[in-house]
């Protein structure tokens, strides 16, 4: 007889992971190294010290250490809002009339509203440990900025957030949450950096972009004494910190005598997906199990499904190192009608490599379909999902419906990264029927590929 599975399952505090897992250690084929944009040679630690704090630089470059101890102070912060629940979606299963068993790991039950806090805490801590006196970052939809402001407030480090100008204007409430945690916010592009002044000179009315905000935050960090830059996704260090999602999920499933046949996550920069799949991918890499992994990305920003696997800059201003990744070109911007996050031009080098080598699948979905799934899910599960997270919901529903067709009782695990409280404008436009879909043309994408750096 199988175990009685509760709706919500929480690990105890003692059961929470005490180490992060570094997926790269078990990859036979490692991701290609970051390149110094000046020399086009692989980045050394010294190349990155001016940008990132030391410990994070080491985590970024370390392809071999399998487990990193989570420092005591970070564990203490994690205990404030973790463990996150592993939820059995009984109601969703019933509504879909599927034999599939659907689980989701819900990361939205903290004030930042998303999984981003998992890495924000780590990055703020290491900065404090190194004696740094301030940090900069960028934020688009605002989840990352909120998370980092929370973390910096906790560790008492001043933070400057470059917030994409159109988000700054459209999301005054996000701004207010960041201010509650003492974050200093500057709409980007701004007059506080050379990059910003140049972009504003060329295009005074621009609403800004994530790539541009990154450039400004990096410039500010490297030109300010005791200041460093922190990033909420894409980087290896962020995927490392987010492994806590997967580690908790795997341990919880083990305690419930379960193991996923399919693991599904939304894919923007890749950190939540990378973190969720990490320990399950380890099993696959080591030949212990063979779950499927599915990245779900927006049709309007399809880096995995339609991008090129190539070296590219991580930002619009081309001040960052180059990463080998699936990319749409560093100046790619999804249409303005695209809601929420998942608007980054590239993809985590780790995930890019795994996808390239056939360990992971990817699908893209249109946003009206995503919101349809989100509203359906909300009614069954009584959680209002973020647009980003709803891509994973859509992916999970599609797989569960395939199970209905085939009669297979597969076990599906997906990551529900956050809540949609600050995305109600998009929900409004969905309810009012004014939401539209955007799919870039091959010609549009080709323009981006033509501008990729020659390495």
Contact residues: its own copies, CB under 8 A: 6-8, 10, 12-13, 77, 79-81, 91, 109-111, 113, 117, 150, 153-154, 172-173, 176-177, 179-182, 375, 378-379, 381-384, 419, 421-422, 424-425, 427-428, 431
Instruction: Give the length of the chain.
Output: 455
Q: Is the CB of 434 or the CB of 441 nearer to its own copies?
A: 434
Closest CA to 438 of 306, 335, 342: 335
Tell me how far, at minimum, the Cβ of 422 lies from its own copies, in Å.
Answer: 7
Shortest distance, position 13 Cβ to its own copies, whole Å: 4
Q: 3-state DSSP call for residue 105? A: strand
Q: How far is the CB of 142 from its own copies (least distance, A)?
A: 12
Question: Could you give the angle at which helices 236-255 and 117-129 cross, rounded to 10 degrees?
Answer: 130
Instruction: Provide, rounded to whole angstroms, the least separation between the CB of residue 217 and its own copies.
Output: 23
Task: Find where tokens 């993809």 sit.
Answer: 347
| Shortest Å, Cβ 190 to its own copies | 20
The residue (of 104 and 280) whose beta carbon lies closer to its own copies is 104
DSSP annotation of 114 reads B
Quick one: how many helices (H) and strands (E) in the chain?
18, 15
Give the distance from CA 353 to its chain's centroid: 17
CB of 150 to its own copies, least distance (A): 5
Question: What is the closest distance, in whole angstroms, from the C-beta atom of residue 141 to its own copies in the complex?
Answer: 14
Alpha carbon distance 178, 147 (integer Å) = 8
CA angle 139, 274, 302 (to 5 degrees): 65
By DSSP bridging, strand 86-88 and strand 101-106 are: antiparallel
- What 3-state DSSP class applies to 322? strand
Q: Which is nearer to its own copies, 8 or 41 (CB)?
A: 8
Alpha helices in 181-224 (DSSP H): 194-202, 210-222
384, 420 Cβ separation under 8 angstroms: yes
* CA 184 – CA 139 distance, rounded (Å): 12
Find residue 365's DSSP bridge partners.
298
Neighbours of 36 (CB within 10 A): 16
Nearer to its own copies, 348 or 419 (CB): 419
Q: Provide, rounded to whole angstroms, the least separation between the CB of residue 9 and its own copies.
A: 9
Instruction: List all residues 6 or more positions away from 395 whose beta carbon is below 8 Å from its beta carbon.
Output: 264, 266, 294, 296, 363, 365, 414
Q: Which two tokens stand for residue 143?
A: 């989840």
Q: Toward its own copies, which CB reaches closer, 3 or 288? A: 3
Q: How far is the CB of 428 from its own copies (least distance, A)?
A: 5
DSSP 419: B
- What is the maximum span of the chain, computed from C-alpha positions, in angstroms? 69
Nearer to its own copies, 22 or 419 (CB): 419
Is 239 in contact with 350 (CB distance < 8 Å)? yes
Question: CB-wise, 130 or 180, nearer to its own copies?
Answer: 180
The nearer residue to its own copies, 106 or 344, going by C-beta atoms, is 106
Tell whether omega for the bond before 254 is within 30 degrees of 0, i.e. cis: no
**Residue 89 CB, nearest distance to its own copies (Å)?**
10
The Cα–Cα gap between 329 and 266 comes to 20
């Amino acid at each position: 007889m199988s175990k009685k599975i509760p709706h919500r399952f929480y690990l105890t505090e003692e059961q929470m992971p005490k180490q992060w897992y570094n997926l790269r250690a078990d990859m036979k084929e490692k991701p290609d190294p970051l390149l110094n944009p000046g020399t086009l040679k692989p980045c050394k630690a010294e190349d990155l010290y001016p940008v990132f704090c030391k410990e994070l630089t080491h985590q970024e470059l370390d392809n071999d250490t399998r487990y990193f101890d989570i420092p005591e102070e970070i564990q203490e912060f994690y205990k404030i809002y973790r463990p996150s629940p592993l939820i059995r979606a009984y109601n969703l299963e019933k509504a879909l009339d599927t034999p599939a068993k659907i689980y989701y790991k819900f990361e939205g039950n903290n004030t930042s509203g998303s999984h981003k806090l998992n890495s924000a805490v780590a990055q703020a801590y290491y900065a404090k440990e190194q004696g740094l006196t301030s940090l900069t970052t960028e934020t688009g939809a605002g989840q990352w900025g909120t998370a980092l402001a929370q973390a910096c407030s906790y560790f008492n480090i001043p933070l400057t957030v470059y917030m994409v100008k159109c988000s700054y204007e459209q999301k005054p409430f996000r701004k207010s949450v960041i201010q509650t945690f003492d974050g200093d916010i500057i709409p980007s592009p701004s007059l506080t950096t050379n990059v910003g002044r140049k972009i504003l000179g060329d295009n005074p009315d621009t609403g800004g972009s994530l790539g541009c905000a990154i450039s400004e935050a990096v410039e500010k960090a490297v030109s300010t004494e005791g200041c460093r830059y922190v990033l909420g996704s894409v980087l290896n260090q962020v995927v490392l910190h987010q492994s806590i999602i997967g580690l908790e999920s795997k341990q919880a499933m083990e305690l419930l005598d379960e193991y996923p046949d399919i693991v599904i996550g939304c894919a923007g920069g890749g950190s939540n997906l990378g973190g969720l799949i990490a320990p399950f991918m380890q099993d696959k890499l080591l030949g212990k199990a063979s779950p499927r992994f599915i990245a779900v990305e927006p049709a309007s920003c399809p880096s995995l499904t339609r991008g090129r696997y190539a070296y590219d800059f991580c930002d619009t201003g081309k001040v960052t190192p180059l990463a080998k990744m699936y990319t749409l070109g560093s100046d790619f911007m999804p249409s303005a009608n695209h809601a929420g996050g998942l608007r980054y031009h590239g993809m985590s080098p780790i995930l890019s490599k795994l996808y390239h080598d056939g360990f992971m699948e990817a699908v893209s979905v249109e946003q009206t379909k995503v919101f349809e799934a989100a509203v359906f899910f909300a009614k069954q599960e009584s959680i209002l999902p973020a647009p980003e997270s709803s891509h994973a919901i859509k992916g999970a529903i599609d797989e569960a419906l395939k199970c209905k067709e085939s009669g297979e009782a597969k076990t599906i695990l997906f990551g529900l990264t956050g809540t949609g409280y600050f995305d109600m404008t998009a929900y409004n436009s969905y309810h009012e029927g004014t939401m539209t879909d955007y799919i870039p043309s091959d010609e549009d994408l080709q323009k981006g590929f033509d501008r990729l750096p020659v390495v």
